[in-house]
Structure 1
Amino acid sequence: MDHPRVESNGLIGPVNAALTPRYAGLGTFARLPRIEDVSHADVAVLGMPFDTGVSYRPGARFGATHVRESSRLLRPFNPAQSTSPFASVQIADAGDVALNPFDIGEAIATAQRTASEFLAGGTSLITIGGDHTLALPLLRAHAEKYGPVALLHFDAHLDTWDTYFGAEYTHGTPFRRAFEEGLIDTDALCHVGTRGPLYGTQDLEDDARFGFGIVTSNDVMRLGVDAVTRLLRERVGDRPLYVSLDIDVLDPAHAPGTGTPEPGGMTSRELYEILRGLRGCHLVGADVVEVAPAYDHAELTGLAAAHVVYEFMSLLALGTGAAPGGPAYGASGTVYGDPGDRR
């Protein structure tokens, strides 16, 4: 059945919510068009349902579908960034990649090949996982195009460990492998939101050797989001930037539906404001991973992840060089400017 869409500036946007209820119709992200329904896509939302690399609770293979369902209430205008991303660039839902759940090596190769094909065609990717193993093939694909990339890694955990049970490719090892393969710019790396126990001081020593800075969740609380944002912007500069975000960076009160929850995390409000503070950075790609809907009571995690994807879309729509801030950024009582189509 045909559902009329919002169209602006020659771009095909989401299904018109004034004509089709938000709970009806195909469950694409934010009810955006499928990639086969547009002539090109500047930005694609790509699902990677895979969780064979997890070390504790499984279920993130269902994350992409869950986040899409949780995105139905997203609207075209983002007042916090004063932008209408769907009216600025063509965004489409590219569906899911078929990843082998029984062979991690093959799944990694397929994920990398698929991402590289999109990037080679000029499409920027926002990937919804899936577990954090996927960050490695995504970084390989982006480094193939841009060279070693700056990396901001939002996570409760470091994910720079060496092996689990002798396995080199798991959700706790992608950034160690990325360092070893020369995929990341060692002058422009930072973990954000880390917390909780480690195996020993060697974890931190190895991490520092790889070039990572660390902003813990306690740092966010004590310094505040504006100071943290300034630190991150200084760290990455104008380099091509990849953002990898494990939803467990949020406190379990805000995101219970994940495989390895840790108490003492960031709030969703803090996370969104830090992401918005990256406006104007040279963002080239991003992922959201580790959403496990089986543990997600009241859809809290899915909603949080959907809004993270929306903020990534807005940053990509604004583009490199956009002024940090804007008419609505962090200003209480500010007039938002022209919201465009509110449907």
Structure 2
Amino acid sequence: MRGTDARRTPFVGHSTGLDLHALRPISRVESRLHSMAEPKTRLPDSRVTPRFAGLCSFGRYPLLTDLPDVSTLDWAIYGVPYDSGVTYRPGARFGPRSIREQSQYLKRYHLEHGVDVCEVLSLADAGDAPAPPYHPKQALDGVIAFADALPTNARLLALGGDHSIAYANIMATWRRLGSPDEGLAVLHLDSHLDTVDEVWGEKYSHASPFVRLVEAGAIDPRFMMSIGIKGPLNAAADLDYGHDAGINVVTYDDWKLKDGDRRIRDFVRRLERRPTYITFDIDCIDPAYAPGTGTPSVGGFTSAEALILLRSFAGVNVAGADVVEVLPDRDVAGNTALLAAHVAFEILALDAISDR
């Protein structure tokens, strides 16, 4: 897309009937834009095409199918409208659509990191993976096949969907890195450990993705940290798998009241440049801030705390990511989906400031 004339290119949401010459930005904005490098991701001009108009891609990024050249694509963002892995309240299959809708007001410049994400990264919305709701393993294998077909040079950001879809996106991420023997490192933000072997005889639920991934060799549990764990457990034995496998656990109380913040910083330093996957379950947020989720647990991060925590991962080599468990039917004024969209942007910004 480098060098493309914005006046002739119908970006996502662009109204071709408008005369851009008659609606040019004010001069001070124009002069600033001329001083910037050519962006790798071209966005519709919000002064021409309102953010509430046009097709609803994530962040108003171009659709993958509209890119003339995908060889330099940095991130493929796709939805997984699937929630047959839930153990309580369904509805996260509508999450990708809701997150995209709330992402329309995302902007390109990250204030705290001081980076124009769209200038540095080539980003595209790849649509939704096919995920029929009837057979969990078959559905997740279909998601893997969809992700495998995306440009191999791009990193994968999946919008869920329930947390079982992390199994698919992590497997696809691991495979496109050559299935390294050491597996991926994982930064896991969640209320729940998600290390139950099976639920009601099903091994591919949102309670078990990390057990399956450890079995496959796709992640290294010694380089996995689960952050924000909170609320009551079914039994003390729920802690056994993670303890035996070597998963690092920082509860919300550890982070808020004890030495959890130091432990997280030490862990991030230990990762160095190891490929690391970030999986963000929205229920790690206090439901007072993010009520739209299927298995809420009282307490937890505020929205601001979660964003600040994500920014502390600066320097991590982000190999892939997901944002999951947004349930629009329980959302209030779109708050949860709006936060999920910003979480996704924070993750992209981590890559934008990273030296690959």
TM-score (norm 1): 0.88
Q: Does 1:51 align with 2:83?
A: yes
Q: Find the partner of 1:267 among 302, 314, 321.
A: 302
Post-superposition offset of 1:231: 3.1
Matched, 1:244 2:279: yes
- Quote the offset at 1:226 in angstroms: 5.5
Alignment of 1:258 with 2:296, yes or no, is no
Deviation at 1:77, TM superposition (A): 0.6
Residue 156 of structure 2 aligns with which residue?
A: 125
Contact 2:155–2:319 (CA<8 Å) still a contact in 1? yes
1:142 pairs with 2:154: no
Do residues 72 (structure 1) and 72 (structure 2) align? no
Q: Is the 8 A contact 2:14 2:49 kept in 1?
A: no
Structure 1 residue 97: Cα displacement: 0.9
The equivalent of 2:349 in structure 1 is 314
Letter in structure 1 aligned against 2:171: R
Q: Check conservation: 1:189, 1:235, Cα contact below 8 A.
A: no
Q: 1:238: how far off?
A: 2.5
Structure 1: any 5+ residue segments left out of the alignment? 322-343
Tell me if 1:23 matches 2:23: no
Q: Give matches, 1:93-132, under 5 Å.
A: 93-118=125-150, 121-132=152-163
- SS state of the match for residue 132, structure 1? coil
1:155-188 CA distance string (max 9 Å, x none): 0000000111111110001011111221111321
Give per-residue Cα distances to partners, 1:245-275, cap 9 Å, x unaligned. 1100100011100000000111111111111
Partner of 2:6: none
Larger CA Rg, structure 1 vs 2: 2
Show the 5 A alignment for 1:166-177.
Answer: 166-177=201-212
How far did residue 106 of structure 1 move?
Answer: 1.4
Q: Residue in 2 aligned with 1:332? A: none
CA deviations on 1:183-231 (whole Å, 9 max, x unpaired) are 1113211101001111222111221112211111112212588635413
Which deviations, in whole Å up to 9, do the C-alpha atoms of 1:98-144 show, x marking residues without a partner? 1111121211111112222336x201111100011111122212222
Question: 1:188 — aligned with what?
Answer: 223
Assess if the C-alpha contact under 8 Å between 1:251 and 1:264 holds in 2: yes
Q: What is the CA distance between 1:14 and its match in structure 2? A: 2.0
Find 2:238's aligned residue among 193, 198, 203. 203
CA deviations 1:273-316 (Å, max 9, x no partner) are: 11111112111000000000000011110111000010111112
8 Å CA contact 2:155–2:173 kept in 1: the answer is: no
1:36 aligned to 2:71? no
**CA deviation vs aligned residue, 1:42-73 (integer Å, no higher than 9, x gap):** 11111010001101010000000100111111
AA in 2 matched with 1:81: H
Whether contact under 8 Å (2:273, 2:316) holds in the other structure is yes
- The structure, 1 or 2, with the larger RCO (C-alpha pairs under 8 Å, 6+ apart) is 1
Give the counterpart of 1:91 among 111, 114, 123. Answer: 123
Evaluate the alpha carbon distance shift between residue 225 and residue 77 of structure 1 in structure 2; reply closer, same or farther with a 3 A threshold. farther
Structure 1: how far apart are the matches of 2:111 and 2:258? 25
Could you say what the CA RMSD is over the residues aligned between the two structures, in angstroms? 2.0
1:282 equivalent among 303, 309, 317: 317
Q: Structure 1 residues 69 and 182, CA, compared in 2 at 3 Å: closer, same or farther? A: same
